[in-house]
Structures are given as structure tokens and as C-alpha cells.
Chains A and B, each alone.
Chain A
Amino acid sequence: DAGITQSPRHKVTETGTPVTLRCHQTENHRYMYWYRQDPGHGLRLIHYSYGVKDTDKGEVSDGYSVSRSKTEDFLLTLESATSSQTSVYFCAISAAATSGNTIYFGEGSWLTVV
């Protein structure tokens, strides 16, 4: 258990509305990530954070913004949701392991944009 909590776990929203997904971790990890997972594409990195107020874009960042005002919270915002953003979103943290850094995931947030 990597101590990651995502909320909400499931959400249905309308096109054009803003949506914020929250990722909360309890173990003071520096690096946090947001991925989306879609059939045929696998896991794709949206944004990541390497510290409070330090974030950077990933492979599929268009239409998404993030914020990290506290070590434990990493927020993903869809400013104006579109149907193409219907997906499952996974938050992750990077933690040291025997072989180096390893990534651990939260349980996911299922988002449907109608």
C-alpha cells in the first residue's frame, strides 16, 4: 500500500464543465504523477510534479492543468471537459526500491464526460 488516495473514484460530468481530480498521499513522496489509461493507448503521462509548486507536462497535457500546493496533494483539473477526456485517471508516486525508483499507483478515478 503506497498510501495514495484518489477522489472522486467515479464521476459523470457534462461537456464544458470544469472537473478536478484529487490525489492525496501520506508518505511524503516528492514525485507525483497523473496518467490516463485508454484502450489501445495504455498508460500515458499527463503531468507530473517534483515538489511543491514544481510541475511539468507529460505526453498528453493539452486540456489539463495541475497544481501542487502541498506535498501530499496533487490536483488534476480539466478546465472544460470534453468527451475525449472520458478515461480512467491514475495518480502515482515514485518511491525508492531495491532496484532504484519504482512507481506505485492509486486506485484510479473513472471519469465519463457526456
Chain B
Amino acid sequence: RKEVEQDPGPFNVPEGATVAFNCTYSNSASQSFFWYRQDCRKEPKLLMSVYSSGNEDGRFTAQLNRASQYISLLIRDSKLSDSATYLCAVNRGQNFVFGPGTRLSVLP
């Protein structure tokens, strides 16, 4: 079993839809949690950190459930420009582990 797992998708949604991604992690010692966005043939870029209390950045909401060891990302009012692969990541100190990513396609 991989340390960080995600549904690979693809998720094909119409513009304006709300879409949610989940990510599970197996190491309970994981300290920090992140969502990255990766466009085709580009590097992953930090989308947002995930805080224990949950956090929101515009149309994006991230939540953490330490007891169940999963993190989630909710995207509201999807835009065509949200089409990308979304990677979750966890870290313990300086060790960062990434999930395989979930591909999102937002359709007109």
C-alpha cells in the first residue's frame, strides 16, 4: 500500500460544478499537509497548505481529518482554468511524500 493515495480520476465536470477530491495517508506521524496543482508538462505548484481547522482560499477549501487520516480539497464554481492534476502531499520534518494525483477536466 502506498503511503499517500488518491483517486486517479479523471474527474470530468461541467463549468460551474463543485468537485471534491480526497486523499488518504497511512503514516500517523505525518505533520503537515498540502495540495499541489500540476499542469501538463509543468512542475507541481503549491495550491494551499491544509490546516487542522480547515482553510479556504477563494473557491478552494481544504480540510484535514487526522483521526481518519485523510485530507480533502473542494473546488466550487469550477472554471475551465482549473483543469489540471491535483496532488496531495504530506510531510514529516523534511520528508515529503506525494500522492499520484487526481486529474480534473472542467468542460465547457
Chain A positions near chain B (C-beta within 8 angstroms): 31, 33, 35, 40-43, 45, 48, 50, 90, 92, 94, 97-108
Contacts A43-B44, A94-B96; is A99 near B49 (CB within 8 Å)? yes
In the complex, 21 of the A-B residue pairs with CB atoms within 8 angstroms, ordered by the A residue number, are A33-B96, A35-B98, A40-B100, A42-B100, A43-B87, A45-B97, A48-B94, A90-B43, A94-B96, A97-B49, A99-B32, A100-B91, A101-B91, A102-B32, A103-B91, A104-B46, A105-B43, A105-B44, A106-B43, A107-B42, A107-B43
Q: Bound state CA distance, A34 and B99, in angstroms?
A: 16
Contacts of B46 in A (CB 8 A): 102-104
CB neighbours of B87 from chain A (8 A): 42-43
Closest 8 CB pairs of A and B: A42-B100, A99-B49, A105-B43, A43-B98, A100-B32, A103-B96, A31-B94, A107-B43
Minimum C-beta distance from B98 to chain A (A) = 4
Which one of A42, A50, A106, A107 lies within 8 Å of B101 (CB-CB)? A42
Q: Tell me the B1-43 residues at the A interface (CB within 8 Å).
A: 31-32, 34, 41-43
Mask: chain B, 86-108; 1 = CB below 8 Å from A; 0 = not: 01010101101111110000000
- CB A71 to nearest CB in B, in angstroms, measures 15
- Closest Cβ neighbor of A41 among chain B residues: B100
Instruction: Say whether B45 faces chain A, with CB atoms less than 8 Å apart.
Output: yes
Q: CB-CB < 8 A to B44: which residues of A? A: 43, 90, 105
**Chain A neighbourhood of B91, CB < 8 A:** 100-101, 103
**A95 vs B100: C-alpha distance in the bound complex, in angstroms?**
23
Q: A94 to chain B: which residues have CB within 8 Å? A: 94, 96
